[in-house]
Amino acid sequence: MSDHILQMRGITKSFPGVTALQDVNLSVRRGQIHAICGENGAGKSTLMKVLSGVYRHGTYEGEIVFDGEPCHFSGIRDSEQRGIVIIHQELALAPQLSIAENIFLGNERARRGLIDWNRTNHEAGLLLRRVGLAENPTTPVTELGVGKQQLVEIAKALSKKVRLLILDEPTAALNDEDSEHLLELLRGLRNDGITCVIISHKLHEVISVADAITILRDGRTVETLDTATDQVTEERIISGMVGRDLDHRFPPREPRIGAEVLRIEDWTVYSTTQHDRRVVSNVTLSLRRGEIVGLAGLMGAGRTELAMSVFGRSYGHRISGRIIKDGRPIEVRSVRDAIRHGIAYATEDRKRYGLNLIEDIKRNVSAAALERLARRGWVDDNREYQVADGFRQSLGIKAPDVLSVTGTLSGGNQQKVVLAKWIFTDPDVLILDEPTRGIDVGAKFEIYTIINRLADEGKAILLISSELPELLGLADRIYTLSAGRITGELPRAEATQERLMTYMTKEQE
Amino acid sequence: MTSVAPTNTDLAVDKNPAAPEKPTAPRRFSVNLRQSGIYIAFALIVALFSVLTGGDMLQPQNISNIIVQNSYILILAIGMIMVIIAGHIDLSVGSVVAVCGAITAVLTVNHDMPWPLALLVTLIAGGLIGAWQGFWIAYFGIPAFIVTLAGMLLFRALTLTTLGNQGIGPFPDPLRTLSNGFTEGYLGNVGLGPLGGADLVSLLVGLLAVAGIAVTQWRARVGRIRYQQTVDPMPVFLLKIIVPSALVLFVVVQLARFRNLPWVLVLLAALVLGYSLLTNRSVFGRHIYAVGGNLHAATLSGIKVKSVVFWLFVNMGVLAALAGVIFAGRLNQANPVAGNQFELDAIAAAFIGGAAVQGGVGRIVGAITGGLIMGVINNGMSLLNAPSERVMLVKGLVLLAAVAFDVWTKRRAGAAR
């Protein structure tokens, strides 16, 4: 019996009207990487907030024993004192400050109130070496990519003499290379005796890195798996998370594919910020009625750039190429042109680019096609309500009514509002950019069902996704994009994760 | 009142440092509180000054004064809140008021132009000024703060160039009537018992307004029911008709007892009605909220963001010109320092009236109420012979409190998310 550094026993945390955690047990062994999996809303973040003292002792039931001693934290400072450090999904770095300043923020290397810069930068340098980040400590954080910023966060945690490091979705915003580096780093930290708790949606990562996996569902512990002794697969974890097996991860669909509806020829786009850098090169692709076409590519391959440049030149500089709709070349110079020609684009970042979060569902649904609800410039409020309420019911948007503010909805429901907005423009072609990003497994299934239904109605779907299983599960045909070029086109039957990955990483000849 | 019940849970939530995940009922209530807080505050302030002034506040002549003295700020506030909803600001309106007053004066006094034509030219000039600023902001991409700060200097300079160091006047009578005058008693007076005689036309207009409120509310309710939307319970619905109706009737009766309806009140009522409709019901109005709520999302939804912002500034210019004519008509001369710091009053009115600092939120009626709050504080404190520095102090604190309240409610809503 190896000893446990952390034991949380019988944790129950309720808010008025909601029980977020019910009798949750979590035992983390010393020097292990322990993953916590669960759908959004399963209680993972709440559990970590209980642990780190955000919810102070007394506001929850149950006990926390850290390193053999019971804990009564009344704030994050208390838990950090004991060596428990949490790194949140949204990084908490000051972008204009240097790496070193960030690492020692709130924990400055100072003598009599004056900062000792030599010591600050020297110690920061040591920490950077430890996390494998080859950057000058005086570099402003804003110049680093997200992956490197993540490493700075870890260096910051190490500076606090961390013993239990908690990472909330650390690789959500990282590309595969950065993710792999991060996971390697966690393995290294484990060997140094630092225990890690990692919350992640990326199950293959969880399996590859974790020693133990605890699955939460609806605020309860489902089970804890040991990757050394149990037979752990993604399917196993998912069925624990959703209580549903993998056969039903993608809804079934009989494709009925019609004539070509959209064709993009010889499409070339230069970067908006660096005018001489080509981000999309001579891309040609076609979409047919009732067809779901996947677009696979690594981060930076130019997927979003391609989609947005087609969507009324919303991105890019010196765009050239042809768009052919229903056999006729069309000019798409603005978003309005695109909408008029029946092209819709649902963004990958719904909070920043997709929704007006302070407005209600109704006004978000109507935003892209308000003219359809108006006569001579005046909007018919009641019709608008009716339309939005129709979408609420048909897409299963979980909200009391369409007057609910979109900012209060969960990710999956927000995504449905985005979809409703674009479906209401009555498009022939829907470009869906990462439609299930940051959405829990149950809601993903619902989004997949909606996508299938749209295809069945005869719309052409271009599905951009970083999750290869998603493309394999939904698309009839998959294009791969690498460094701005189409490097492959595979029908569903011939596509496998390995083949796609090969094409996606293909270098330019 | 249905909102009473959630109050208790709301307070209970507040005492608990851990915010709930899904506080459906309290959310509704706090939204209501955020929207209606301003009207409650207005009522309290009016009540306070009525007591402090021993009822002088609500005397017929004083009500008339409050409206006439604040009309130009209220007109500016209408344009300003729309600009603020879209996420911008306009610091130049005070100077635009001055330059437009000067234009009218030069045209009517120096060149004997007929007043309707002069008014039209002035409004067009205001629109062109707005177009100039709108171009730099919307199409050139300079922050409105900078463009209108420059405009504040530019148009003040233009005013001084035009007028030199002196005022031009007097104004033609019709323009003065628009600013200061009252409707004629076309149908004579009627006796109101102990209240004495009152103008029949004014009373009829008041009754018509009340009927209008009732009918539009009723039709909206019927429409909602037909589309199976939830509506207020009957008592709340009736309250929402009775309270504003009583308010309108009270003001109208007082005015009818004094000197009939001020023309600026008629103008203001039309503007408020028109712009409320525009912001709530028109495609253009909806686009203003979309632009202010999330600029990127609006752009990617095919909204002509630049055009919306451009026309908002054109609109602001026209309203500033109108305010300029009314202000000049009231003073009976165009003055080189006219409109000084009006922009601050208009901006304060918008923020007291519930506009959000980040944009995307606000209502015309809110801005009018915000403007009236400041007007009532000004008026009430001068009735009490308070020195002007104390008035300034109170207004500053009220502005701060209003925005603090807005931020506080938003933070609570955010924590509850």
Q: For B36-80, what is each residue's pLDDT tens digit? A: 778 888 999 999 999 999 988 888 889 988 999 999 999 999 999
Residue A197: beta bridge partners?
A34, A166
Residue B269 in domain: no
Model confidence band, residue B413 (pLDDT cutoffs 50, 70, 90): low
Question: Is it the case that residue A9 has pLDDT exceeding 60?
Answer: yes
What's the pLDDT at A328? 94
Q: How far is B291 from chain A (nearest CA, A)?
A: 9
Q: What is the mean pLDDT of residues B108-126?
A: 95
Looking at the fold, whether B129 and B8 belong to one and the same domain comes out as yes
Residue from B322, B367, B327, B329 nearest B348 by CA: B367
pLDDT at A170 > cutoff 50: yes
Domain boundary among B205, B235, B261: B261
The mean pLDDT value for B147-174 works out to 92
Question: Which is higher by pLDDT, B265 or A442?
Answer: B265
DSSP codes joined into one string, A455-466: HHTT-EEEEE-S
In this structure, are B117 and B192 located in the same domain?
A: no
Please state the rounded mean pLDDT for residues B328-345.
92
Q: Which of B209, B231, B261 is the last residue of a domain?
A: B261
Give the count of Cβ contacts less than 8 A between chain A and B.
122
Q: Does B290 touch chain A (CB under 8 A)?
A: yes
Residues B110 and B120 in one domain: yes
Complex ipTM: 0.83
Domain assignment present for residue B268? The answer is: no
B73 lies in a domain?
yes
Average pLDDT, chain B: 86
Q: Is A376 on the interface with B (CB under 8 A)?
A: no
Specify the number of domains making up chain B.
2
Whether B17 and A20 lie within 8 Å, measured CB to CB: no
Note whether residue B161 is domain-resident: yes
Look at residue A245 in the predicted model and tell me its pLDDT.
53
Task: Supply the range of the domain harboring residue B196.
Answer: 182-261
Element containing residue A29 per DSSP (H, E): strand A18-29
pLDDT of the residue at B20: 36
Residue A181: band (very low, low, confident or very high) from pLDDT cuts 50, 70, 90: confident
The pLDDT assigned to A269 comes to 94
Question: B348 and B283, same structural domain?
Answer: yes
The confidence score (pLDDT) of residue A111 equals 85
Res A238 pLDDT > 70: yes
What pLDDT is attached to residue A324? 96
Per-residue pLDDT, averaged over B147-166, amounts to 94
**Cα B164 to chain centroid, rounded:** 32
- Residue B240 and residue B306 in one domain: no
Of B9, B12, B417, the CB nearest to A407: B417
Q: Which CATH number fits domain A4-245: 3.40.50.720, 1.10.3720.10, 3.30.9.10, 3.40.50.300?
A: 3.40.50.300
CATH number for the domain spanning B171: value is: 1.10.3470
Name every chain B residue with its beta carbon within 8 A of the beta carbon of A359. Answer: 289-290, 293, 360
* Partner A contacted by B24 (CB < 8 A): yes
Highest mean pLDDT among A88-92, A160-164, A498-502, B270-274: B270-274
Contact B284 A377 (CB under 8 A): yes
| B110 and B220 co-located in one domain | no
- Cα–Cα distances (Å) from A106 to A67, A110, A130, in that order, read 25, 11, 21
| Contacting B residues, span 25-54, partner chain A, CB-CB under 8 Å | 27, 31
Q: Is B111 on the interface with A (CB under 8 A)?
A: no
Nearest residue to A435 via CA among A260, A325, A307, A341 = A307
Segments of chain A assigned to CATH 3.40.50.300 = 4-245, 257-342+427-509
Q: Which of A76, A311, A356, A398 to mutate to test the interface with B (most CBs of B within 10 A)?
A: A356
* A55 interface with B at CB cutoff 8 Å: yes
Kindly state whether residue B364 falls inside one of the protein's structural domains.
yes
- Please determine, for residue B12, whether its predicted confidence score (pLDDT) is greater than 50: no
B15 touches chain A (CB under 8 A): no
Rounded CA separation B193/B197 (Å): 8
* pLDDT above 50 (res A86): yes
Tell me the residues of chain A between 416 and 445 that have a Cβ less than 8 Å away from chain B: 421
pLDDT of residue B139: 96
Round to whole Å and give the CA distance between B303 and B284: 10
Q: Is A74 on the interface with B (CB under 8 A)?
A: no
Q: Are residues B53 and B118 in the same domain?
A: yes
The fold for domain A257-342+427-509 equals: Rossmann fold (3.40.50)
On whether both B291 and B401 belong to a single domain, the answer is yes
DSSP B239-295: HHHHHHHHHHHHHHHHHHHHTS-BHHHHHHHHHHHHHHHHHHHBHHHHHHHHHHH-H
Residue B7 clears pLDDT 60, i.e. is over it: no
Mean predicted confidence (pLDDT) in A465-470:
84
Using a CB–CB cutoff of 8 Å, tell me whether B23 touches chain A.
yes
CA-CA distance, A121 to A98, in Å (whole number)? 10
> B237 — contact with chain A (CB < 8 Å)?
no
Instruction: Identify the band that residue A8 occupies on the pLDDT scale cut at 50, 70 and 90.
Output: very high
Q: Do A357 and B294 touch (CB under 8 A)?
A: yes
Confidence of residue B414 (pLDDT cuts 50, 70, 90): low
Contact residues, chain A, for B290 at CB < 8 Å: 356, 359, 363, 367
* B202 and B103 within one domain: no
Same domain assignment for residues B126 and B202? no
The arithmetic mean of pLDDT across residues B396-402, rounded, is 91
**Is the model's pLDDT at A310 over the cut of 90?**
yes
Chain B positions touching A18 (Cβ under 8 A) are 20-22
Binning pLDDT at 50, 70 and 90, where does residue A244 land? low
A368: contact with B, CB 8 A cutoff: yes
Of all residues in chain B, the percent with pLDDT exceeding 70 is: 90
Whether residues B31 and B51 share a domain: the answer is yes
Asked if B289 has any chain A CB less than 8 Å from its own CB, the reply is yes
pLDDT-based confidence at residue B26 (cuts at 50, 70, 90) = very low
pLDDT confidence band for A237 (50 / 70 / 90): confident
The per-residue pLDDT for range A278-309, each reduced to its tens digit, is: 889 999 999 999 999 999 987 778 899 999 99
What pLDDT score was predicted for residue A313? 92
Q: pLDDT band for A247, please (50, 70, 90 cuts).
A: low
Q: Please indicate if any CB of chain B lies within 8 Å of the CB of A58.
A: no
> Residue B23: what pLDDT?
37
pLDDT of A1 reads 40
Is pLDDT of A57 > 50?
yes
Residue of A410 and A370 predicted with greater confidence: A370
User: In which band, very low, low, confident or very high, does the pLDDT at B228 lie, cut at 50, 70 and 90?
Assistant: confident
Identify whether residues B213 and B350 lie together within a single domain: no
**Residue at which a domain ends, from B261, B295, B329:** B261
Between residues A505 and B218, the one the model is more confident about: B218
Quick check: B264 pLDDT over 70? yes
User: Taking residues A477-488, what's their average pLDDT?
Assistant: 92
Cα torsion at B37, B42, B44, B45 (round to 10°)?
140
B404 to chain A nearest CA, in Å? 18
> Which residues lie closer than 8 Å to B44 by C-beta, 6 or more apart?
none
Please report the residues numbered 321 through 340 in chain A whose beta carbons come closer than 8 angstroms to any beta carbon of chain B. 334-336, 338-339
Q: Which of A143-152, A255-264, B175-184 has the highest mean pLDDT?
A: A255-264
